[in-house]
Structure 1
């Protein structure tokens, strides 16, 4: 489901329609869209969103869409949807953009406020697994947003490579997937998704990035110098509010 229209339509801009793409090749794009519920409108939002997903299925949208509810932190209660694992060019050929926008306005937009649309690129070499790109979402995700000082991106990503090597030596460690922000927010930002099987996952593995670098002083310095701030929250997967191809 393409949702760029949700924000552009809110500004009364028209989007042109494009022909549907042929089967897209695997890619590294990750488009995320965030919504804050209107007061008391969560149930109506979910009902309308299901109807909107039905529109996408009926129009044979080739993009897969995930849905989550944020369960803690300052954004608790927000809804997130995302399309990942496609090439960036796939969004140049979305299915019936005008019809998509009209259906979204009719069924969903009255019940939620668009709060952001960050687009990321997958850092496959820094990741130990890619569950979303493989269409195998976990029950929950531990989501960490990292703000890096400008000019420190190379040092930060060098430390991620060290952390990846440490993770690969940890039996039972959940998949860690890293993304770098391309557009839609302050630079430089990274996002880490850790696949979790609810709270029980933390009993088997609970390691911070810093602890994974404990045996590499250079990587510790890279992280200490590069990271400006970080926040973490839990996202709960909503299979009934998702449409996977």
Structure 2
């Protein structure tokens, strides 16, 4: 028994577990080549096998975007680790070579934004806790430069009001760190399909009804916002 415990302890120390231990969120977005969705998914499964074989400690989520201008795009992400974890990726050169061989021929990379989780204004962090929902309502918010503090002040009021709402699903906010236009934020609302909107569908703006100061902060700081649905692909994900 002692030898078995020692072996298990050594394996745990050799394979660090990052999930939930940091606030980094790295996303990768791909547009499928025409008619290549099946080949892409087959190649991506092979690529996940490459990661598993090398005991990659990072968890990888996958989604398909179902509506909006990016309908049909594929998204994968590693979240919940410290930013430093990406300084110690498993065999970076080999990872890139395997990706180019199995995945790259079937899709065009469209971006790789990195975000930081805003825990103080989020009501939950399902992805960081390895509990993805069947779908997510994903809202991208572009904020006017210099207005970030006012926007996050409005988010604090939204957070307070959300905590009073019955049936509200987890709302998780991120701020863009690099990889896109600034200042940019992303809101993930956990949904279990369309039925989730029957239980709760109020937007952050509606949650500020009656609070004139917070409404003014929101209205004057936000430049634009777009919303889309992401469907979770468990068969193309690798969680630890």
TM-score bracket relative to the smaller structure: over 0.9
- Deviation of 1:215 after TM superposition, in Å, equals 2.3
The residue that corresponds to 2:99 in the other structure is 104
CA deviation after TM superposition for structure 1 residue 23, in Å: 3.9
After superposition, the C-alpha distances for 1:92-113 in whole angstroms (9 at most, x for unaligned) are 0000111111111111110000
Shift of 1:200: 0.4
2:117 to 115, 122, 125: 122
8 Å contact kept, 2:15–2:55: no
The separation in 2 between residues aligned to 1:69 and 1:229, in whole angstroms, is: 23
- For residues 10-40 of structure 1, give each alpha carbon's deviation from its aligned partner in whole angstroms, at most 9, with x where no partner exists: xxxxxxxxxx874447000000000000010
- 1:21/1:90 contact within 8 Å kept: no
Distance 2:220 2:15 in 1: 43
For 1:169, the equivalent position in structure 2 comes to 164
Residues 148, 189 of structure 1: 8 Å contact kept: yes
Query: Residue 43 in 1 paired to residue 16 in 2?
Result: no
| Unaligned segments of structure 2, at least 5 residues | 1-13
In structure 1, what is the equivalent of residue 152 of structure 2?
A: 157
For residues 145 and 191 of structure 2, what CA distance do their matches in structure 1 show? 31
Partner of 1:244: 239
- Identify the residue that residue 208 of structure 1 maps to in structure 2: 203
1:134-163 superposed Cα distances (whole Å, 9 cap, x missing partner):
000000000000000001000000000000
Determine if the alignment matches structure 1 residue 222 to structure 2 residue 232: no
- Which structure 2 residues correspond to residues 5-24 of structure 1 after superposition, within 5 A? 22-24=16-18
Instruction: Output one character per residue of 1:172-225: Cα deviation in whole Å (capped at 9) or x when no partner.
Output: 100000000000001000000000000000011010111100021100000010
SS at 1:209 equivalent: coil
Residue number in structure 1 paired with 2:5: none
Q: Counterparts of 1:40-79 in structure 2 under 5 Å?
A: 40-79=35-74
Q: Residue in 1 aligned with 2:178?
A: 183
Q: CA RMSD in A?
A: 1.1
| CA–CA distance in structure 1, aligned partners of residues 194 and 151 of structure 2 | 29
CA contact (8 A) 1:122 1:180 kept: yes
The TM-score normalised by the length of structure 1 is 0.91
Q: Which has the larger Rg?
A: 2
Of residues 97-106 and 169-178 in structure 1, the stretch that sits farther from structure 2 once superposed is 97-106
Deviations 1:52-74 (A, max 9, x none): 00110010000000000000000
The SS at the match of 2:205 is helix
Q: Does structure 2 retain, via aligned residues, the 8 Å contact 1:128–1:164?
A: yes
Give the direction of change, closer, same or farther, for the CA distance of 1:155–1:21 in structure 2 (3 Å limit): farther
Gaps (5+ residues) in structure 1? 1-19
